[in-house]
Structure 1
């Protein structure tokens, strides 16, 4: 019998991370992320662009290359996205990130916002919309989807909706052998941060859905309201029909596509008082309200794009992290460095240092990343030889575990590749574990209590 020294990763009980339900997707929307993005896009806080600290002092269409670079870098850092810059005139450029659907790649949903402005700052118009699109991309890019999502940030909205108009015309073009893009829905987010109540307080939290009876636009409105009534949001909807044509969604209406505008309530005259002025700054934004609107559109996009049931969940025990997916390939990551951990490609991962860890699971066609788990690594004593005894070794049918500690122990059996085979909890003095259905080979039996841990190398004949 060989006993191997072990480290205890002291976390109470078992923790499960789920990222598959719409509810869980909604809960990933981060108010802090939205605040940071608005601060950086409005130039009220410096950010890292092209590897150096810079400030976005302008998003006016004639001088917004730095903002475009910022958006492109943020999207390019996300998994499962193909990012491109669409130049449509001398100065104008749309930033387009495409997440290809695994089942229906030609069925397209677009979530979009314009990033250009008329003057400095312009936090509400439209750093809020851009920040929401970036947050939605952050969350959904880690998921495998049935349908395609396009995350689009338009340029030159403020001088005639030029960026969206170019994209929509290109999508609808059927000349010279082109095929019309099958865009099933467009949700445009333009000015989603102002609510007349004091920021963060309970109030009306009204928002507008601007819609017209063009293509299936009414259905988008209906779906948004259904989601609003299915999950918990601190929002009240105002339907505006016929809705305004003074934003990018209308250029998709012009091409016969389904589209709506989601934003603060101009219909009730509850829009920012600093519209199109340099007074439009972060201090006027109600980030609770903005977060709720971002959650609503996130839920819509997750619902319509179709979450594929690739299991990216993880079981966390006192001693290890276990990917719950039983098929596919695995790569464990250090969340603190965003780097893959060399050699850690098994279903089970035992960290060697305190930190935050996640697993990337690939099923052959797409990849999903789990949420990050925090581990505190503490040295622990081995069991004394008289406290725990594992026999016989080699084993042919029944492995016996003698526990004289009078405390509950957890028993984990892994094969030589690190794959978890069986787990047991026991307070018995003698626990019998069947090896009858386990193939011949080398296995590791880990026994842990609240204060001690030992691993035993066992041979199954």
Structure 2
């Protein structure tokens, strides 16, 4: 208890010193983002600029919601590592990425002989040693839970993203990754992050992780706020309260450094054009690998943070909104509970951001 109080005092002191820099980015942006998502479509319709290029005018426009939904319905069955459906989804990742023209590998790692990531690579044309990673974990819990939101939404989003991104040429190398064993402690992504951290020839410009992107709840009070978030993210929490704590937004969590901030800005700009509310949560290097941020380290981006690599989680906020999380309360994490139009907007905003980061 004493240690916790000392940490809190130390944190408050650091926060006072850094608050102005912090607020210049996403702390004050969150209110703007939530409002802009509603205002931009109205402003666009009031002016004749339909032919003007936007952040969402390239690959993201090719996103097909029906393809995403079909993949989601196939994936959303129990698939703990080693199970029959786990193998089927792994095979799906392999065959799709190969069919889209990616160079595919299926590395195993030290945890056991059956654990496998699926990695697809599209080499950059100008700077192939700089890499952008777009990813999602394809495993589910060991329970007999379909895992539709967690994380069939992410895997289906990854495959649809891979399809549309394969048609373009980019300066930097694009890696598509289906991670294994996220539910057992980020094991697959940890293995990959460790390998690229040791590879001095590879520079990770950005890592994106789709982590539950399909559940919305528009009823006031449906969005829960993690304990203590008001201390670290006061402006975001206040903005959500003003909107009645409704769960109709997507959250992006990222380390507060130059490249992740660029990726976040691109995501936010694209989301505003799509009428997609965003809550942006930048986390300082001094905090991102600490116990205090444990609620923001619950997915594969944290594996990259652990090796001081840039990472972003894209999420509907998991159990802080979705009552069907891991089917723990006797409810079912099923496709029928999800908002596919919302997920499609998330995919489009992500692709727009990825394209920005793939440019030199």
Q: Please say whether Structure 1 and Structure 2 have the same fold, judged by a TM-score greater than 0.5.
A: yes
Match of 1:143 in 2: 168
Counterpart CA distance in 2 for 1:247 and 1:97 is 20
How big is the shift at 1:70? Answer: 1.5
Match of 1:162 in 2: 187
CA separation of 1:70 and 1:266: change in aligned 2, threshold 3 A: closer
How big is the shift at 1:186? Answer: 0.6
CA separation of 1:67 and 1:162: change in aligned 2, threshold 3 A: same
Report Cα offsets for 1:217-238 as digits up to 9, x if no partner: 3333233223334xx2121111
Q: Which runs of 5+ in 1 are unaligned?
A: 1-18, 44-57, 308-461
How big is the shift at 1:250? Answer: 0.6
User: What secondary structure does 1:62 align onto?
Assistant: coil
Match of 1:367 in 2: none
Of residues 149, 161, 173, the one that matches 1:124 is 149
CA separation of 1:21 and 1:295: change in aligned 2, threshold 3 A: closer
Superposition pairs of residues 19-98 of structure 1, within 5 angstroms: 22-43=56-77, 58-63=78-83, 64-79=86-101, 81-88=102-109, 89-98=112-121
How big is the shift at 1:282? Answer: 0.5
Report Cα offsets for 1:106-137 as digits up to 9, x if no partner: 11001100000013311110010011110111
What is the TM-score when the length of structure 1 is the normalising length?
Answer: 0.54
User: What secondary structure does 1:61 align onto?
Assistant: coil
Report Cα offsets for 1:233-257 as digits up to 9, x if no partner: 1211112244601100011011111
CA separation of 1:261 and 1:21: change in aligned 2, threshold 3 A: closer
Give the length in aligned residue pairs: 262
Match of 1:276 in 2: 326
Q: Could you tell me whether the CA contact under 8 Å between 2:189 and 2:303 is conserved in 1?
A: yes
Report Cα offsets for 1:71-106 as digits up to 9, x if no partner: 111111112x10110111322100000010111111
Of residues 243, 246, 271, the one that matches 2:298 is 246
CA separation of 1:266 and 1:67: change in aligned 2, threshold 3 A: closer
Counterpart CA distance in 2 for 1:194 and 1:290 is 8
Greater Rg over alpha carbons, structure: 1
Q: Which runs of 5+ in 2 are unaligned?
A: 1-52, 220-245, 284-292
Counterpart CA distance in 2 for 1:128 and 1:21 is 23
Say if 2:348 is the partner of 1:295: yes
Superposition pairs of residues 365-404 of structure 1, within 5 angstroms: none
Say if 2:129 is the partner of 1:106: yes
Q: Could you tell me whether the CA contact under 8 Å between 1:35 and 1:287 is conserved in 2?
A: yes
Counterpart CA distance in 2 for 1:204 and 1:90 is 40
Q: Could you tell me whether the CA contact under 8 Å between 1:132 and 1:294 is conserved in 2?
A: yes
CA separation of 1:299 and 1:122: change in aligned 2, threshold 3 A: same
Q: Could you tell me whether the CA contact under 8 Å between 1:250 and 1:259 is conserved in 2?
A: yes
**Which structure has more RCO (C-alpha within 8 Å, separation ≥ 6)?**
2
Of residues 261, 276, 281, the one that matches 1:235 is 276
Of residues 180, 184, 200, the one that matches 2:205 is 184
How big is the shift at 1:205? Answer: 2.8
How big is the shift at 1:207? Answer: 1.1
| RMSD over aligned Cα atoms | 2.3
What is the TM-score when the length of structure 2 is the normalising length?
Answer: 0.68
How big is the shift at 1:188? Answer: 0.6
Report Cα offsets for 1:362-388 as digits up to 9, x if no partner: xxxxxxxxxxxxxxxxxxxxxxxxxxx
Counterpart CA distance in 2 for 1:204 and 1:234 is 15
Counterpart CA distance in 2 for 1:137 and 1:20 is 21
Counterpart CA distance in 1 for 2:302 and 2:93 is 23
CA separation of 1:248 and 1:156: change in aligned 2, threshold 3 A: same
Match of 2:262 in 1: 219
Counterpart CA distance in 1 for 2:186 and 2:55 is 35
How big is the shift at 1:26? Answer: 1.9
User: What secondary structure does 1:142 align onto?
Assistant: coil
Structure with a larger share of its residues in helix: 2
How big is the shift at 1:138? Answer: 0.3
How big is the shift at 1:214? Answer: 5.6
Of residues 251, 254, 265, the one that matches 1:208 is 251
Counterpart CA distance in 1 for 2:359 and 2:348 is 16
Counterpart CA distance in 2 for 1:99 and 1:109 is 10
